[in-house]
Structure 1
């Protein structure tokens, strides 16, 4: 099987004309590192890859229980992959060997030019082996923990019957640590900790105060006020990589285990690469595949006041309150809308003013759309104004002429599907692999 896997890797590298995948044996463990051409373009073109990288892992991906480690960075198009490491063990030594193997095949402009320095920040869940492996590979990187996993671990600890905390006090004790996580300053963090230790309910449970003291010693990993100097860009959870891991399981593996590690490795540079290619091309053309969910509740459209083209005042369905909706930003001041949820008030505005076709996931700037197109296809011969909106295109520009020039540079022949589609779709079709 390993000989077959090595032959498959060699064939893939030869097809790409560069080293995109490598395999090695370390302490009787199989380690594979993958950095596909699309992933290398993300390294070179997305500046956020130099700032923060999210890493998550998932096991039981094939019959031999191999483990996948996925590295992503964030962008306006969602999480973008930077590399994949597949191992047959999750020990610290094996993960370190996997990350160093991946480091060896990264492009020179890895992490937007930082190269061997690695990203400034790496966010993971609370896995000591993974965190130490990252430091062994990139000593100058600052590791931080996902806030969600910290609170989730504390919630599970509180509900563990062996710790002797009754159910009636679990919520109060969790609230104490939430105050530490979201403290506004280091002084506020210290004050909140002392108040938590002296709390009348917390003091009843020595196990809790001891556990809280152990968690507080690692506060530089999870306290938001202690990471304000880091380029996290408001990312305090690794939702990007959690979502990507769900995509891998649902759309790449179809919730089935691969038969063997050879098939597992083949899925990453083929199926996963194709998924991100299609998604980025759709984003580049503002052709989102996301559908707006119909929210719960119903808001009357009679009392909606249109302030301007994008701002609306919407009455509440249950109280006398009113909420402000901005359809351009996709926001609402209601409790649900404040958390980023597509709420009933936004839905009512779209229904009342016939905005059903409005795409709240559209990328605002033509430069960003061109960047995503370049990441997806590897082509940089598109005119600068190709992805501009109708209002942005100069009056003397001829989009049809530019389309013809772009197609001629690729030497493509226009088939029936290409002729019948829009100019931007024609250009994308010409650059997609046959």
Structure 2
């Protein structure tokens, strides 16, 4: 028989029949499919044990077949409660007895917070489901500098009372949040006011990226924009005063805007006024933003 392609192991490996697992083999790796989040780990296990070179797509398809879907709200909530703590809030708006807020943390996340409670990042993103609910995440930074989520919450709105409810749930679920020294967040007034109300002992650090972006929206002059970002990031107060004087000479409108809206709370966003604030070197909530992008 004459083949119109080279007959080699490489071509055989690419054939689905060659790498297909038997029913018994699938049953043996089912616990690994349910527990492991690494496709590479599953691929290596199958290669070592069964001498079959499966692909990432094969792993994805097997995970989809193993994981059973949950359709009803009751089943979903029972599943979440079996993994951690779940809190719900019902309101009469927009209709009677409607679920408007959900807060959830797994037991692993609760233990993770106890290990790294000092600095917590908080941020929200909108339109994460068909009901257009906002998703809030609270993250801690581990020993490797990675952002690790410790709490999820969904709300219909992002008002102060919604964020206060989330942070109250955070205290109840974690049982003790007094060791949290700093909250890193963007410039949302609802989040700032809620943290001041629920965690008065903690410092508030506004994300330097969001602050710079808010400043730069007030001018088109690239030189002024450069000095505005320096104003946020400089480490010495003498530099801060110098940059502010330069900005005042270059653009009086921007200077008035800063004095009216930002200078009275410069300890929240200016690095040189945060000498005694613990941040672990992180002055942005980019870790939360990155997690939101992966979800969307």
Verify same fold: TM over 0.5.
yes
In structure 1, how many angstroms separate the alpha carbons of the residues matched to 2:224 and 2:231? 12
Which position in structure 2 is the counterpart of 1:139? 200
Change (3 A) 1:26 1:93: farther
Match of 2:31 in 1: none
109, 120, 124: which one pairs with 1:53?
120
The offset of 1:118, in angstroms, is: 5.2
Instruction: Give the structure 2 partner of residue 202 of structure 1.
Output: 251
**Match status 1:124 vs 2:212:** no
Q: Work out whether 1:12 is the aligned partner of 2:83.
A: no
Shift of 1:30: 1.1
1:130 shift after superposition: 1.0
* 1:171 CA drift (Å): 0.6
Gaps of 5+ in 1: 109-114, 159-166, 250-434
Residues 68 and 138 of structure 1, relative CA distance in 2, 3 Å threshold: same
Q: 1:27 to 1:153 in 2, by over 3 A?
A: farther
**CA–CA distance in 2 between the matches of 1:12 and 1:182?**
42
Distance in 2 between residues matched to 1:172 and 1:27, nearest whole Å:
52
Aligned to 1:65: 132
Change (3 A) 1:27 1:192: farther
- Asked whether the equivalents of residues 208 and 233 of structure 2 are also in contact (C-alpha less than 8 Å), the reply is no
Offset at residue 67 of structure 1 (A): 0.4
Does structure 1 retain, via aligned residues, the 8 Å contact 2:117–2:179?
yes
| Equivalent runs, 1:419-430 vs 2, <5 Å | none
- Secondary structure of 2:101's match? strand
Structure 1 residue 144 displacement after superposition: 1.1
Question: For residues 250-269 of structure 1, what are the structure 2 equivalents within 5 Å?
Answer: none
Q: Does 1:192 align with 2:238?
A: no
| Distance (Å, rounded) in 2 between the aligned partners of 1:77 and 1:183 | 23
- Which residue is 1:219 aligned to? 266
State the 1:26 CA deviation: 4.6
Cα pair 1:53 1:123 within 8 Å, conserved: yes
Contact map agreement 1:85 1:102 (CA 8 A) in 2: no
- Give the direction of change, closer, same or farther, for the CA distance of 1:151–1:135 in structure 2 (3 Å limit): same
Going from structure 1 to structure 2, the CA distance change for 1:140 and 1:124 (only over 3 Å counts) comes to same
Q: 2:226 aligns with which of 172, 175, 178?
A: 175
Structure 1 residue 218: Cα displacement: 2.2
Pairwise CA distance, 1:147: 0.5
Q: Matched residue of 1:152: which SS?
A: helix
Shift of 1:217: 2.4
CA distance 1:229–1:172, shift in 2 (3 Å): same
Judge conservation of contact 1:118–1:138 (CA < 8 Å) in 2: no
TM normalised by structure 1 equals: 0.47
Are residues 43 and 141 of structure 1, via their aligned partners in 2, closer, same or farther at CA, if it must alter by over 3 Å?
A: same
Deviation at 1:6, TM superposition (A): 4.8
Counterpart check, 1:91 vs 2:140: no
The more displaced of 176-185 and 119-128 is: 176-185
For 1:134 and 1:27, locate their aligned partners in 2 and report how far apart those are by CA, in whole Å. 26
Pairwise CA distance, 1:232:
1.0
In the alignment, the residues of structure 2 paired with residue 209 and residue 190 of structure 1 have an alpha-carbon distance, to the nearest angstrom, of: 12
Unaligned runs of 5+ in 2: 1-71, 94-98
Greater helix percent: which structure? 2
Q: Which residue of 1 aligns with 2:289?
A: 242
- Matched residue of 1:80: which SS? strand
| Alpha-carbon distance in 1 for matches of 2:270, 2:232 | 5
Distance (Å, rounded) in 2 between the aligned partners of 1:240 and 1:77? 10
Is 1:24–1:30's contact at 8 Å kept on the other side of the alignment? yes
Distance 1:192 1:211 in 2: 15
Alpha-carbon deviation of 1:77? 5.9
Q: Deviations over 1:257-293 (max 9, x none)?
A: xxxxxxxxxxxxxxxxxxxxxxxxxxxxxxxxxxxxx
Cα drift, residue 12 of structure 1? 3.2
